[in-house]
Amino acid sequence: MRIDLHTHSTASDGTDTPAELVAAAAAAGLDALAITDHDTTAGWAEAQAALPAGLRLVRGAELSCVSPDGRGGHCTVHLLAYLFDPDAEAVVREYARARAERRGRLAKIADRMAADGFPINSETLLASVPEEATAGRPHLAMALMRAGVVSSVDEAFARFLNDRGRYYLPSSRTPIEASIEMIDEAGGVTVLAHAFATHRGPTVTADVIKELASLGLGGVEVDHPDHDPDARKRLRTLADDLDLIVTGSSDYHGTNKVISLGQETTAPAMLDELSRRATGVAVLTG
């Protein structure tokens, strides 16, 4: 069994449509795939309709949150939410707000780059992101590529768009405690994404994860391309201590990142546990 529980489609900042994503998962020999676009469930229906025979689909989302960092400050964290009711009112309201705010924020970043002479236009940029999709920096990175400023999305992040860069603005973030509660109430299960990926920016301490577990956090993503062996080891130990679900996933974004589907995987018993705990929507079988 090969299970990948964290992937993106064109409903956010991936390059495969939801239909292409499930087809690629089947082609890659996966048995189960989660679609986890940033702050949206917009890709679920298309992925479901295109689900190849034999592939299991876990419907989810990756929510941008702000969390205490355990050192007296705050930092951005990503919360994977699985199998929640996509029509739950609080969830719908919060993430419609988040997506609207993300568009404004991306336009601001683009305007700041344009003011510095980059051949970028925020209106053209936003017009390139479908209305129902979640706008993010990768869309700007692709625009910079099209304009010939950089030759890859990675280069755009390395030179201009990373969190420490001069054009960076944080995206809309929901307090993590509120997101965990909201997803709980919508019958879903939450898993903290790439919690110890230090090169992405500031991260939370183990004490924070312990606190989040007491609030209902269901699991931690241990095997992730951005985690080094030491980070994985510390997270696995923590998950053991706190009785949390352990997942492994690629965080595939299509051609926006040099990562392949199924590059990291989740143990079948962990998916069973996740599915057992969820009451929002079921795991689908194609």
CA separation for the pair 60, 187 (Å, rounded):
12
Residue 138 or 188: which CB sits closer to ligand AMP? 138
78 binds Fe ion (CB under 5 A): yes
Q: How far is the CB of 163 from ligand AMP (least distance, A)?
A: 8
Which of the stretches 90-98, 111-119, 173-181, 251-259 binds ligand AMP when contact is defined by CB under 6 A? 251-259
* Whether the Cβ atoms of residue 283 and residue 88 lie closer than 8 Å to each other: no
Adjacent-strand bridge partners of 82: 60, 189
Question: Count of residues for the chain?
Answer: 286
Residue 43 or 138: which CB sits closer to ligand AMP? 138
From the list ligand AMP, Zn ion, Fe ion, none, pick the one residue 227 interacts with, judged by a Cβ distance below 5 to 8 Å according to partner type. Answer: none
From the list Zn ion, ligand AMP, Fe ion, none, pick the one residue 224 interacts with, judged by a Cβ distance below 5 to 8 Å according to partner type. Answer: none
* Range list of H helices, 186-277: 206-214, 229-242, 268-277
280 binds ligand AMP (CB under 6 A): no
Q: Which amino acid is at 254?
A: G
Number of residues that bind Zn ion (CB under 5 A): 2
* Whether the Cβ atoms of residue 169 and residue 108 lie closer than 8 Å to each other: yes
- Secondary structure element (H or E) that encloses residue 47, with its range: helix 44-49
CA separation for the pair 119, 280 (Å, rounded):
45
Query: Which residues, including other chains, have CB under 8 Å from residue 84's CB and lie 6 or more apart?
Result: 60, 61, 91, 183, 186, 187, 188, 189, 278, 280, 281
Site for Fe ion in 13-42 (CB under 5 A): 13
Q: How far is the CB of 243 from ligand AMP (least distance, A)?
A: 28
Which of the stretches 5-13, 15-23, 65-73, 124-132 binds Fe ion when contact is defined by CB under 5 A? 5-13
Kindly state the tokens that stand for 163. Answer: 């969190």
String of contacts with ligand AMP for each residue 128-167, x by CB under 6 A: --------xxx--------------xx--x----------
Residue 56 or 224: which CB sits closer to ligand AMP? 224
Phi-psi region of 165 (alpha: psi -120 to 50; beta: other; left: phi over 0): beta
Site for Fe ion in 206-265 (CB under 5 A): none
Residue 184 or 221: which CB sits closer to ligand AMP? 221
Query: Which spans of this chain sit near Zn ion (rule: CB under 5 A)?
Result: 62, 251
- Given the rule CB under 6 A, which residues bind ligand AMP? 13, 38, 136-138, 153-154, 157, 171, 253, 256-257
